[in-house]
Amino acid sequence: MTAYNAFYAQSGGVSAVINASACGVIETCRRHDDRIGRVYAGRNGIIGALTEDLIDTTPESDEAIAALRHTPGGAFGSCRYKLKDIESHRRQYERLIEVFKAHDIRYFFYNGGGDSADTCLKVSQLAEHMNYPIQAIHVAKTVDNDLPVTDNSPGFGSVAKYIATSVRETALDVASMCSTSTKVFILEAMGRHAGWIAAAGALASEDNDGPPHIILLPEVPFDRKRLMARIDETVKRCGYCVIVVSEGTRYEDGTFLSDAGNTDAFGHRQLGGVAPTLAGMVKQDLGLKYHWAVADYLQRAARHIASRVDVEQAYAVGQRAVECALEGQNAVMPAIRRDSESPYRWSLFDAPLSEIANQEKFMPREFIREDGFGINELGRRYLRPLIQGEDFPPFENGLPKMAQLALRPVERRLPEFEL
Amino acid sequence: MTAYNAFYAQSGGVSAVINASACGVIETCRRHDDRIGRVYAGRNGIIGALTEDLIDTTPESDEAIAALRHTPGGAFGSCRYKLKDIESHRRQYERLIEVFKAHDIRYFFYNGGGDSADTCLKVSQLAEHMNYPIQAIHVAKTVDNDLPVTDNSPGFGSVAKYIATSVRETALDVASMCSTSTKVFILEAMGRHAGWIAAAGALASEDNDGPPHIILLPEVPFDRKRLMARIDETVKRCGYCVIVVSEGTRYEDGTFLSDAGNTDAFGHRQLGGVAPTLAGMVKQDLGLKYHWAVADYLQRAARHIASRVDVEQAYAVGQRAVECALEGQNAVMPAIRRDSESPYRWSLFDAPLSEIANQEKFMPREFIREDGFGINELGRRYLRPLIQGEDFPPFENGLPKMAQLALRPVERRLPEFEL
């Protein structure tokens, strides 16, 4: 049996565990070197395939590949780039085939979220539409947890654990300062469309009596007056108020809170940042002393506080993707099934990519508290298993040790290509 | 020998390890129960003493007290409140004596920074000026690392480790996204007057070739044109640029960057936040895609990534404070001496409080790079030992477990007192 080569690439916003999936893909390919020759990583996602900018992972030591499991970010570079339709942009697809042919690539593993699943789906169609024998398997990744079909997305559990840990820690800080200083603390979490990440802040307490007292979700229209009344009441009752706000929080009409600064709130433009916008409202309406934090990339890069469940699932979907390819599958994505909640047990199943590409899973209404200021026990029950277990990286000189890759480029065999 | 009671309180901004000092104080007192009776904690610092709002730590189990070592925030509440002069505010001091007498308190342990050291010093003078036999010992704490005399301040090492870890992690994120997305990442660190915390970001790389490429310190006047040129050059050379900015960054004339929005930069007011201000300049001057994060309380509450050296020193200064009291000392603070740098060895010595109160230690000029955009190897050599070692808290259900204290109030014996 001839051994063909594999292409692997990372796409979209990276996460604390996307490299754990890379590790799962590459290690599994190495175990099947009778059927899979070399693993070429695309530099900067699909762009690496189009521009023939390939990295040969073969010279990387087993130790270096193993270290990917505990290294955040995208080791081979990621991209925000979506393939157009085959009909209108045939040349792009011909180019992909040229590159795949030139490097004997017949396995295509694409590691990303919903947009990237669309790219993977289009590549999978090369088989049918352009008669090139490729098997394209998607490897799930998104901190936003908004992929459909799968119970949860690798990458989310770790950012959820980061946010919940940070809320639990900072709430103790605010509680100790509130008698003479800060009364309101606002933490801004990622999630432009779905409130999963902000919702995870709720895990900081066992129930809704403890902090965070308020979570603002994109799924619930923003109501300044109601919110301020709630903050005021919380400070009077508890002495302080901890708020987690999703960056996607918006008004009834869909305007993002962070975009509304021009005409509303302050009468001036905000440079992104829902937390400072909200802090301004707290100052203006209630006159309370506040602090705010914007976690931004900190949250999705925080491999040091990754969820062990998340790391294991990220690795497993990478491993399973290779198995799918070896089984002859195309246009699928290994998805996670929740077999049992307590104790948490999960398994993988192969989901058709057509059901996944370009779709977003929002938080179900039944997870949201009746007052809209957070999630309920049903939501907590869904989230809890995903942050279980620790998987600390090795430390050296007081800091997490990262994978050191040689990233050896593959010699180009084709003319240049304009993107 | 009669056993007198002890008073312990926390003051100023809290840290990831101030409770480790509390643990050191209380555990050491318990080991000397022949000479120290009960340890009363002041609720919200010195305010607890003035208002006779005392917490009896005696009923707390040994396990609960031990758990303070891994619990961030101030378990007994902190305050921003400074005692006035004895001459002009004699009534306050008389009240302190009344409370101390009413509860047989003769040992006073105050856990805080430079301002709090002043309060501790004033209490120590009760002995001389008002003939009350008190021994006041200061327990060093400040994330800002700006206490004089001591080589470093407990609390700083952990925030330094948090910032360095976060920079190392996020730099990998930015590096992987920069080809098609974010080119400039800005992390805002605490430090209103001294740049120690921002400087610690430099530990993310071995030398100044790696990220963070630029650190902005309060010690170096802000020069927009020079900075933008450097960012531009860095992005061209490395593909991306990671910046750590101290919240205290200011113009030549002393105006804080974050306060300057009204008249400069954007022509509108910023709600604090140097990072978004800087991001706006990057957008305006260079048109580069940016992301920014403001760590705020996250950094000083992040016990989950505390430095082991820091935790040990925090505990040790608490322990030594009690020993100082038992030796009959007054108006001293256990300070840290650097005995050796590599390998790092440290010991404690007793420093007179008069040399510590109300003084700030800035970063020495010789630690700062010639170009002003960060620190040099000398600075790194000073900082490196302070972030060594990990001391992960116990986790339960995926989250750090915190101390659960009963916080039993001591029955009041005196009339109320107006602050």
pLDDT in tens, A149-200: 999 999 999 999 999 999 999 999 999 999 999 999 999 999 988 999 999 9
3-state secondary structure B372-416: CCCECHHHHHHHHHHHCCECCCCEECCEECCCCCCCEECCCCCCC
Predicted local confidence at residue A377, as pLDDT: 96
Q: Considering only residues 282 to 301 of chain A, which have any Cβ-Cβ distance to chain B shorter than 8 Å?
A: 283, 291-298, 300-301
- Please say if the pLDDT value at position B260 is more than 70: no
In terms of Cα–Cα distance, which of A153, A138, A163, A83 is closest to A360? A153
Predicted local confidence at residue B258, as pLDDT: 80
- Please say if the pLDDT value at position A140 is more than 80: yes
Contact B67, B401 (CB under 8 A): yes
What Cα–Cα distance (Å) separates residue A344 from each residue in A197, A202, A339, A410, B397?
20, 19, 7, 43, 12
Contacts of A236 (CB under 8 A, 6+ apart): none
The answer to whether residues B115 and B178 belong to one domain is no
**For position A123, which CATH number holds?**
3.40.50.450
CB contact under 8 A, B175 and A73: yes
- Chain A residues near residue B279 by CB distance under 8 angstroms: 271-272
Q: Is residue A88 part of a domain?
A: yes
Q: Is A184 annotated as a binding residue?
A: no
Q: Is A106 annotated as a binding residue?
A: no
Mean pLDDT for B94-110 is 97
Q: Is residue B215 part of a domain?
A: yes
Question: Other C-beta atoms within 10 Å of B86: how many?
Answer: 17
Contact B275, B187 (CB under 8 A): yes
B262 touches chain A (CB under 8 A): no
In terms of Cα–Cα distance, which of A184, A203, A170 is closest to B302? A170
Predicted local confidence at residue A1, as pLDDT: 61
Mean pLDDT for A115-135 is 93
Written as six digits, the tokens of B104 are 């047989």
CA distance linking residue A121 with residue A127, whole number of Å = 11
Report residue B358's pLDDT band, with 50, 70 and 90 as the boundaries. Answer: confident
Query: Looking at A301, A318, A335, which one is the last position of a domain?
Result: A301
The answer to whether residues A9 and A136 belong to one domain is yes
**Lowest-confidence segment of A100-109, A395-404, B186-195, B220-229 by average pLDDT:** B186-195
How much is the ipTM here? 0.96
The answer to whether residues A142 and A117 belong to one domain is yes
Q: Is residue A297 part of a domain?
A: yes
Preferred mutation among B17, B172, B292, B388 to probe A, highest tally of A CBs within 10 A: B172
The answer to whether residues B125 and B231 belong to one domain is no
CB contact under 8 A, A176 and B387: no
CA distance linking residue B148 with residue B151, whole number of Å = 8
- Please say if the pLDDT value at position A265 is more than 70: no
Report residue A272's pLDDT band, with 50, 70 and 90 as the boundaries. Answer: low
**C-alpha neighbours within 13 Å on the C-beta side of residue B289:** 11
Predicted local confidence at residue B1, as pLDDT: 62
**C-alpha neighbours within 13 Å on the C-beta side of residue A1:** 10
The answer to whether residues B247 and B163 belong to one domain is yes
Q: Is residue B108 part of a domain?
A: yes
CA distance linking residue B282 with residue B288, whole number of Å = 6
Annotated binding site of B for diphosphate: 13
Contact B150, B300 (CB under 8 A): no
Mean pLDDT for B132-151 is 97
- Please say if the pLDDT value at position A258 is more than 90: no
Q: How far is A319 from chain B (nearest CA, A)?
A: 22
The answer to whether residues A333 and A352 belong to one domain is yes
- H helix intervals, A114-155: 114-129
- Enumerate the β-bridge partners of residue B10: B111
Predicted local confidence at residue A269, as pLDDT: 45
Q: Is residue B258 part of a domain?
A: yes
A144 is catalytic: yes
Write the pLDDT tens digit of every residue in A58-80: 999 999 999 999 999 999 999 99
Predicted local confidence at residue B288, as pLDDT: 95
Backbone angles phi, psi at A228, to 5 degrees: -65, -40
Contacts of B44 (CB under 8 A, 6+ apart): A179, A180, B9, B53, B76, B77, B78, B79
Q: Is residue B414 part of a domain?
A: no
Q: Is residue A378 part of a domain?
A: no
For strand A4-10 and strand A36-42, is the pairing parallel, antiparallel, or unpaired? Answer: parallel
- Name the residue in chain B with its Cα closest to that of A310: B398
Contact B62, A163 (CB under 8 A): no
SS3 content of chain A, % helix, strand, coil (to 5): 40, 20, 40
CB contact under 8 A, A73 and B305: no
**Lowest-confidence segment of A127-131, A336-340, B26-30 by average pLDDT:** A127-131
Annotated binding site of B: 13, 142-144, 190-192, 247, 297-300
Residue with tokens 């918006």: A250
In the three-class reduction of DSSP (H, G, I as helix; E, B as strand; rest coil), residue A377 is classed as helix
Q: Identify the H or E element spanning A320.
A: helix A308-326
- Please say if the pLDDT value at position B190 is more than 60: yes
Q: In this complex, which of A81, A168, A176 lies closest to B399 when CB atoms are compared?
A: A168
Contact B117, B356 (CB under 8 A): yes
**Lowest-confidence segment of A405-414, B57-66, B324-333, B354-363 by average pLDDT:** B354-363
Predicted local confidence at residue B272, as pLDDT: 62
Which DSSP string corresponds to B181-219? S--EEEEEE--SS--HHHHHGGGGSSSTTSS--EEE-TT
CB contact under 8 A, B203 and A301: no
**Strands lying side by side in the sheet with B184-189:** A214-216, A241-246, A184-189, A290-294, B290-294, B184-189, B241-246, B214-216
Predicted local confidence at residue B268, as pLDDT: 40
SS3 content of chain B, % helix, strand, coil (to 5): 40, 20, 40
CA distance linking residue A65 with residue A404, whole number of Å = 9
- Please say if the pLDDT value at position A301 is more than 60: yes
Say whether the peptide bond before residue B343 is cis (omega within 30 degrees of 0): yes
Write the pLDDT tens digit of every residue in B31-90: 999 999 999 999 999 999 999 999 999 999 999 999 999 999 999 999 999 898 888 999
Write the pLDDT tens digit of every residue in B305-314: 999 999 999 9
Q: Is residue B374 part of a domain?
A: no
Residue count of chain A, please give it.
Answer: 419
**For position B173, which CATH number holds?**
3.40.50.460
CB contact under 8 A, B283 and A302: no
- Please say if the pLDDT value at position B121 is more than 70: yes
Predicted local confidence at residue B265, as pLDDT: 31
Report residue A128's pLDDT band, with 50, 70 and 90 as the boundaries. Answer: confident
Q: In this complex, which of B10, B173, B387 lies closest to A72 when CB atoms are compared?
A: B173
Residue type, B40: Y
- H helix intervals, A14-89: 18-31, 46-50, 62-67
Report residue B266's pLDDT band, with 50, 70 and 90 as the boundaries. Answer: very low
- H helix intervals, B68-155: 90-102, 114-129
The answer to whether residues B185 and B82 belong to one domain is no
Q: Considering only residues 386 to 405 of chain A, which have any Cβ-Cβ distance to chain B shorter than 8 Å?
A: 387-390, 392, 395, 397-400, 402
The answer to whether residues A276 and A311 belong to one domain is no
Contact B155, B20 (CB under 8 A): no
Written as six digits, the tokens of B323 are 């020993």
CA distance linking residue B30 with residue B41, whole number of Å = 14
The answer to whether residues A187 and A254 belong to one domain is yes
Predicted local confidence at residue A156, as pLDDT: 98
CA distance linking residue B20 with residue B35, whole number of Å = 22
Give the orientation angle of helix A156-177 with respect to helix A308-326, to 10 degrees. Answer: 170
Residue type, A143: V
The answer to whether residues A162 and A258 belong to one domain is yes
Question: The domain containing residue A270 runs over which residues?
Answer: 156-301
Predicted local confidence at residue A196, as pLDDT: 97
- Chain A residues near residue B169 by CB distance under 8 angstroms: 16, 72-73, 298, 301-304, 400
Mean pLDDT for B183-208 is 95
A381 touches chain B (CB under 8 A): no
| Apex A118 CA angle, A114 and A121, nearest 5 | 130
- Chain B residues near residue A180 by CB distance under 8 angstroms: 44, 47, 79-81
CB contact under 8 A, A298 and B169: yes
Query: Looking at A301, A325, A344, which one is the last position of a domain?
Result: A301
In the three-class reduction of DSSP (H, G, I as helix; E, B as strand; rest coil), residue A42 is classed as strand
B269 touches chain A (CB under 8 A): yes
Predicted local confidence at residue B86, as pLDDT: 87
What percent of chain A stands above pLDDT 70? 97
- Chain B residues near residue A270 by CB distance under 8 angstroms: 276
Per the structure, the count of domains in chain A is: 2
- Name the residue in chain A with its Cα closest to that of B190: A293
| Apex B97 CA angle, B323 and B359, nearest 5 | 60
What percent of chain B stands above pLDDT 90? 88
Mean pLDDT for A368-390 is 97
Mean pLDDT for A341-357 is 96
**Lowest-confidence segment of A18-32, A125-139, B157-171, B400-414 by average pLDDT:** A125-139
CA distance linking residue B36 with residue B262, whole number of Å = 56
Predicted local confidence at residue A188, as pLDDT: 97
B172 touches chain A (CB under 8 A): yes
The answer to whether residues B112 and B242 belong to one domain is no
Catalytic residue among A53, A144, A146, A151: A144
Query: Looking at A282, A301, A320, which one is the last position of a domain?
Result: A301
The answer to whether residues A328 and A396 belong to one domain is yes
